[in-house]
Every structure is written in C-alpha cells, then in structure tokens.
Amino acid sequence: MSRNRIYESQLSRNLLSALAEIDRPGEFATSGDYPLTMPGLDVNFLGQIPLPLPPVLARKLIEGCEQAPYGKGTDTLIDTDVRHTWELDPKKFYLRNPEWDEVVETIVQQVQNDLGLGRRKLEAHLYKLLVYEEGSFFLPHQDGEKIDGMVATLSIVLPAEHEGGELIVRHDGWEQEITFDEAASGYGLCYAAFYADCEHEILPIQSGYRLCLTYNLVLATGGRKKNLLAPCHSGVAEALEEALGAFETSEDMSKMVVVLEHQYTRHGLTLDALKGVDRARAEALFLAAEQTGFAAHLALLTRWEFGSADGGPSGPNGGHEMCEVIDYSQTLDSWSDREGKRVQLGKIDALDREIIIKQTFRESEADQEDFEGFTGNAGMTLGRWYHRAAIVLWPSSNHLSILCEAGTEFAIKSLKKMVGKLRRTAKSRREDERRRCLLLAEEIVETWGLVRRETISHDEGVRGIFIQLLFELDDPNLVCEFLSEVLNEDASLKLGKDFLLFCRRHGWSRFASSLKTLFETKKPEQMTRNAAVLRLICRAKDKDEERKKLARQLANQAIESLKKFDNEKNRNNWVIGGHLDRGKILASLVAATLALEAAAPLTNLVKHAISKPKKYDLIEVHLAAIFSIKSCFKNVGANRKGLSLWLNHARDELRVRTRTAPQEPQDYRRSRKFDCSCADCRSLKEFLADPRAAEFVFKAGANRRAHLEDKIQVNKLDCRCKTRIRSRPYSLVCTKTTASFARRSNVYVCDLERLSKLEPLLEDV
C-alpha cells in the first residue's frame, strides 16, 4: 500500500493550477523610512541646497524648474488641470555625497525584496528632481515606459516641511495610501516604489513644499526583455473561489490542507513569517476563503513516517533510504489567523485525501531523521518528520466537526466557552445561542472517541464537564442519545445527583429505553459504573413511582447481566477490555435492591455470589462489599431474608477460618512446594525438608544463584537470602525464617477482627 503518493482529484489539480499562476511573492507597492542622509544636492543655478528645504530656497528652485508634463498615448502634454508639479532634469543638478549611491542601493534592495522580485536584480536610474508646492497634485495615471526594461518607479522624498500630498497606488482592486511623515516633518528620508503599470495619483499639497528624487527601476540583465508587470491575482482568486465552491459539495473530506513549499518550525509561524512565494499564495487563499465564506487558518503540517531502511544514499534525505513505510501520521497544529493571532484549535489529523501538495514528501528533504541500525534479529528502521506550513480551509458549515476533529476534550472546552457566552446573552437572543451550542454538543456525541487515540489527552475531568453542559442545555433527546451511545462506550463517565434532577424534571419514562440499552452491556468497567448509576437511581429521596418502576427493571437487568458474565467460560476478574471490580459491583447492587425493597432480586444476587467462591472472594469481595455499605443495613424489612443469607455466609466462612490458631514451627522443616525440578532446586527442596538444617550455602555462578533466589521470592518460601563474596564463585546463603507463620498469624488476627465487626451487623438484621 502506497502511503506517500499525492492524492489526485480534479479539485486538487484545479487548485494547484490556480496557485501556480502566482509565480512570485510581494506587493504591487512598498514604502518605508530611511535614516537621514544628505544627498549633497547641488543645483546649477542655486548651488548647494540645505535640508530640510527652506521655503525661500524652494521658491527660487521652482523659478528654475519646468512645469512637469504627463503622457497621453504617444503624446507628452502639459496641463495643470491634470498635473501641477515642477521638475528639474538631472543635467541641471548633482548629488555630491559619495555615500548617496549606497543609500539608493540599500533602498533598491529592500524594494526588490518587497516587490517579490527575488533574484531579479534591479538597477536605479535617476530620472527627475520634483518640487511640489501648495496646491500641487497629479491626477490618477500610469507611468509610461521611460527606459527599456523598466519595471517600477522609485521616489525618495527629501526632508522638507509640508502637509498633504499622499500617494495613492491602485492595482487589481486593491489600494495603498502612502504618507511621507518623516520627510514631511523635516527629520528624515522616505521612499515609495510601485510597479510601472499601477495606477497612482498624488493628492494636493495642503501647505509647504515637497522635494523628491525619482528613479526608474529596471532589470539589471542586459538586452530588452518583456517588462514585468505587477502581480495580478484577480484571475487566480476567481479560480480559487471556483475550486472552493467545488469542494463544498465534496462528501469525503471535511477540510482542505493546501501545503506551501518551504520548511518551517512551529515557533513563530505566522503569515508574516512565510517565505518567498508562500506568502503571496497564502494571501490569495485567505482572500478566496473570505469571498466564499470559508474559514481559513495557517497551520503547521507535520508528517511522521516509520519504516524499514537500508544504509545506502537516498538523495534529498541523506544517507538512509526508507524501503517500506510501516506506519505514518499527519497532524496539524500551531494555528494562526490572517492577522497572525494564535488560534486554539488543538491538534487535528489530516487525511491523505485532504492534503493538496505539489510534490510528495519523499521528494523533499525531511526536517528530522531517526535511524536505528540492526538490533539482534530486528532490521534497520527509520523515522522521519516533515514540517510544512499549510493553509487549512473548510466551509463554515463544517466548523463544528473540525472542532471535534481536534479531540473530544478540545471540543468540550469549546462548548464550555460557548455555554459561558450563552449565560451572558440577552434573553431575546438566548435561544439562537442555545441552538448553536446544541449543534456542537450533537457533533461531540456523534464523534465521541472517533479521533486518533494519541491526539486525545483523555482528561476525565473535562469529559465529566460535558454531562453538566448537556443538562444545562436542557435537551432530553440529546441526553438520551448520550446515555445509549456515549455512556455505553466510555466507562470513565459518571452520573451524579444532577442526573436525577434532570430525569425528574422531564419524566423518567422518557429515559427508560436509553437506560435499558445502557444496562445491556457486558463490558466489565461499564458494568461496575452502571451498578453505581443504579444505586444512585434507587436511593433517590423521593416517592416517584415512575422512577421506582424503572429502577426495579434496571436492577433485574443488571443482576442477570452479571450472572451471564460470570457464567461464561474462562471469565475471571481480569478480562480483555477492563477489570470487573466484583466488590464494588456487589456493594452497589445490594445497596440498590435494599433501597428498592426488592427482596427477590436481592436473594437472587446473593445466592449467585455465594455459588461462585472462586470469583467472589470472601475477603476482597464479600466482606469488602459488606463493610462499605453497612450503613444500609437498617430497617431492611422484606429484604431481611436475602441480607441474612449473605451475612450468615460471611460469618460462617470466617468462623471456619478462625477455628484453629496457626502453630509456630517446632523445628526447621519448611514448605517445599514449587514447580522446578532442576538439580539446584532439588538441593533447595532437600534443605527445606530437613528439620535440623537452618542454613544452606549454595556456591555457584551468578545465573544459578539468581535462579534459586528467584524461586524463593516468587514462591514466598521461608528463606532469607544473602550473597557471600569471600571467594569465587560467590555463595548464596539461605537462612530459614518463620515468615509464612507470621503471615498466617496476621491473617488470623485480621479474620478475628472482621468477625467481631460482622457479628453486630447480624444482630441488627
């Protein structure tokens, strides 16, 4: 079976094809501040220009400038109703500071990265010096290609106090507004850059003057190339939205896991931390999800593989080759939203059919590898971990099922928060909020225990909270489903007095069928828990005949289930699936029948327990049960016969056990009953049978000594062992004790105490 293939469907092919159109990351426009560095601006007709630009010099500078034109088709026009700006050609000024080229180069490198051009190196060509005065503006327009290979426009705004003049850049339905606050305050440099095909405008200057240097950014490669345009993802968004629409009708998966290209760790994984084209593709997926009503999150996908291995070269994964994948898992965690906020969604499994990935994990480099060579008869094994960022999407209608995929406990915690919100909701909207809570509660009941075991903390305290939440949501039908479906599978769940109140409020007959289904189980842990539930129901402090009638039916059902369980062949205290605590179950059932005054069921139960002495031990079962519920042996009425039968049986057994006190050994003869017949053990048996020998010295190697000592300890023989190391081989010195006599004496004393506690109970009955 292949566990490393890409799950291919038309949906995944369409989605991958749409994402492939996003060939580079980056924005269509970018801006930033730069530490103040003077360019050494020297104008031919004015000389050195100090910065920030003084207003007097600004007016003189404008006198030497020309009105800036604009392009319309193939024409270059001057129209101050379209563009009111002054410009100066580079032939008429100089930038004297030798460090200025480094400033421009640093800014260009940042712009190159922000615009997603990666290794496509840009070069800056100085174009004009622009001066804006109060009222200057430039209506929306696009830059023409001023030089071969031009990709973008860069504007570096120099210090000059002014207000207004915001740069607005639009592209593909998006808009950026760029202000130049540091430069406008006169204390710093600001820059802005945008692709040449983007529409942009300069809003009117409200006061003061703006001074800026404009550059044409071109590709550094020689020769005329087709110009790069700004990233345009509107068509991609439409394709993604179409793919999401197709996914919503899919029935074999609840979510889509779109795997990004680069490797990541869970620490600090947010949208801003994504590398290269991953960021742009993630943004496109978030946008498509927003448009289609999908939930979208960034998460870390971890794939773990374990299999057989050999030691040969394996390409991208180093020195070991995975021959066959024996086991694997794929989980999602470290969730965050589009704004980078952490989202608590727990750990969720990702199915093969839900993962949309360009190439198999095996074709990429693993993040972690654990190789183990030959160990005895076992071959070489290899474990690998792959960590990839993924955008996880699902329709809003699937949100509740996704919460449950994170694990039962996580879903319950989410429900608890929702119920807390319900308590604070205004009365007019409370029913709608309650219905939302019930939808999640129904999903929890339906998916209880279906999540992979290792992804569940199995916190019994959290699971117990769910019962309280169900009662608060007050839906008896859902409680019935919980009783018959969930409680019958999860023995860790208990019911308390609030269950009695809930059943009394809605009528016991409503829950009869579900409780009878619950009591049909033959699972030992559930039988023990169910007996406690029966005891709770039977001992309720009310005169509800409906409850009593149902309780009698359940008592008979529980006793018959116990008898069938005990009568099955090869049944003992420990069985596959759990432990039947017969002491607890006997105590609960007797207490229940006493409270019901159900004489026949009690007698039936007691006779059965007495008839199975190997399964119902006198001390651990009968007496443990009797002393745990002795407070119930008052005013027993019709139950006197069955209770007397039980107590008399226990008393008679104790009297037999205490008829003769244990006798201390009169010589050194000790029990020699154990199952080994090797030569060393035969020597030990001869020693134990010798009435005169108190000590046995066994000189032998370590393995033989250990064997003999093990037999003494396991069979609780009356010997104390000590290793003597005077000479090799060492000796095991066995000294006889009276340990078994001490144990019998202790049991005898305890039995007398038990008998003294039991006899007064018989007098009361």
Q: List the end-to-end C-alpha distance of the chain, in Å, as a whole number.
A: 69
State whether CATH 1.10.600 applies to domain 29-219.
no
Strand order in the sheet with 47-48: 47-48, 41-43, 93-95
DSSP 135: T
Residues 6+ apart with CB under 8 A from 249: none
- Per-residue model confidence (pLDDT) at position 162: 95
Q: What is the mean pLDDT of each run of 10 residues along the chain (765 residues)?
A: 48 73 74 93 94 94 93 77 94 95 95 80 93 95 79 95 95 86 93 92 96 92 59 66 69 80 78 79 83 87 85 53 83 88 85 82 79 66 88 85 82 90 92 92 86 48 89 95 90 91 94 93 88 93 91 94 85 53 94 92 95 94 95 85 94 95 94 92 94 94 94 94 91 95 95 94 82
User: Vertex 168, ends 165 and 174: CA angle to 5°?
Assistant: 165
Distances from the Cα of 554 to the Cαs of 171, 506, 549, 550, 734, in angstroms?
73, 19, 9, 6, 58
Q: What is the rounded CA–CA span in Å between residue 610 and residue 622?
A: 9
Report pLDDT digits (tens) over 511-530: 999 999 999 888 888 899 99
Domain boundaries, the chain: 29-219, 233-400, 409-496, 519-664, 679-737
- Per-residue model confidence (pLDDT) at position 356: 84
- Per-residue model confidence (pLDDT) at position 184: 95
Q: What is the rounded CA–CA span in Å between residue 485 and residue 724?
A: 63
Long-range contacts of 675-682 (CB under 8 A, 24+ apart): 676/711, 678/707, 680/704, 680/707, 680/708, 681/707, 681/708, 681/711
pTM of the model: 0.62
Residue 270 near residue 336 (C-beta atoms within 8 A): yes
